[in-house]
């Protein structure tokens, strides 16, 4: 019991120091009448995790270029895929993945929740990096896309689906990064109180985007399942085993 009390006191002291540091930054902004990006990054170093975004985009595009053919790739497939219809209307949910991923980090930064931002960022960084490494070491693809010229589909939906198909090759699909990213958003919604009001909206949104991947034939059910496995393993590590470490990484520096 004494050890637990000492740990609680120590954590409280660290939180007070973090609040003091945040207050110091805000007071300096009020005094000078301007916002200093350099000062903000110095006191909030975890925002540098945003630098992974250009790294990921370059890595993904390079890998799409290098592994653009399905020849010699493992074909991701389960018999259940044949029973899932092609529903082009789900493409509108599918493309909302991008704003969905950006919502939690900006909310956490606006609310000053560095630890939650750090956990979410690390989840995405490790989730996407591991997915890309798996695809690089174990080239894979899916052969589920329908012939749009032989499918009844509205002109605008056809335009969006064709655009997605054209921009994204049917390779590098296992595990599904769409599913990994959606799980990151869902887990972040239960990390602290900042997203409490929209928590279940984010859960529904994340699940909708995840299932859309199989209805628009961008992924096999196997991709979805492996994405779920990877996502839950990362949740155990980042939100469980490394929680105290990420609390420290996400604190404001004086």
User: What are residue 140's phi and psi, to 5 degrees?
Assistant: -140, 165
Could you tell me the residue ranges of all domains in the chain? 1-43, 45-249
Structure-token match 């979410």, residue found = 120
Q: What's the pLDDT score for residue 254? A: 64
Closest CA to 38 of 30, 48, 27: 48
- CA distance linking residue 220 with residue 179, whole number of Å: 12
- CA distance linking residue 211 with residue 175, whole number of Å: 14
Structure-token match 């019991």, residue found = 1
The predicted-structure confidence for 49-72, as pLDDT tens digits, reads as follows 999 999 999 999 999 999 989 999
> What is the reported pTM?
0.86
Residues 6+ apart with CB under 8 A from 134: 174, 175
64 within 8 A of 169, measured Cβ to Cβ = yes
Closest CA to 105 of 96, 113, 97: 113
pLDDT, averaged in runs of 10, over the chain (254 residues): 59 59 58 67 90 96 92 96 96 96 93 94 98 97 92 88 93 97 97 88 97 98 98 98 94 76
Q: What's the pLDDT score for residue 124? A: 98
Residues 6+ apart with CB under 8 A from 156: none
Closest CA to 153 of 221, 81, 90: 90
Q: What's the pLDDT score for residue 252? A: 77
Structure-token match 């018999």, residue found = 79
- CA distance linking residue 28 with residue 26, whole number of Å: 5
Residues 6+ apart with CB under 8 A from 235: 123, 183, 187
């Amino acid at each position: 019991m004494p050890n637990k009390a000492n740990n609680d006191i120590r954590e409280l002291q660290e939180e007070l120091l973090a609040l003091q540091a945040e207050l110091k930054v805000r007071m300096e902004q009020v005094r000078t009448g301007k916002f200093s990006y350099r000062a903000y990054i110095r006191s909030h170093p975890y925002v540098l995790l945003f630098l992974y975004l250009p790294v990921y985009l370059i890595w993904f595009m390079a890998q799409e270029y290098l592994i653009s053919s399905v020849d010699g790739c493992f074909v991701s497939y389960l018999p259940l895929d044949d029973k899932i219809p092609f529903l082009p209307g789900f493409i509108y949910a599918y493309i909302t993945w991008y704003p969905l991923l950006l919502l939690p980090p900006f909310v956490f930064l606006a609310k000053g929740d560095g630890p939650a931002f750090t956990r979410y960022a690390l989840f995405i960084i490790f989730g996407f990096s591991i997915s890309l490494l798996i695809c690089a070491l174990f080239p894979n693809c899916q052969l589920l896309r329908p012939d749009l010229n032989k499918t009844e589909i509205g002109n605008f939906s056809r335009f969006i689906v064709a655009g997605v198909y054209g921009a994204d090759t049917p390779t590098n699909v296992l595990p599904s990064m769409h599913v990994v990213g959606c799980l990151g958003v869902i887990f972040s919604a239960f990390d602290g109180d900042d997203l409490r009001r929209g928590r279940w909206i984010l859960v529904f949104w994340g699940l909708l985007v995840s299932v859309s991947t199989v209805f628009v034939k961008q992924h096999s059910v196997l991709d979805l399942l492996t994405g779920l496995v990877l996502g839950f393993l990362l949740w155990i590590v980042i939100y469980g085993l490394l929680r105290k470490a990420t609390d420290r990484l996400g604190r404001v520096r004086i």
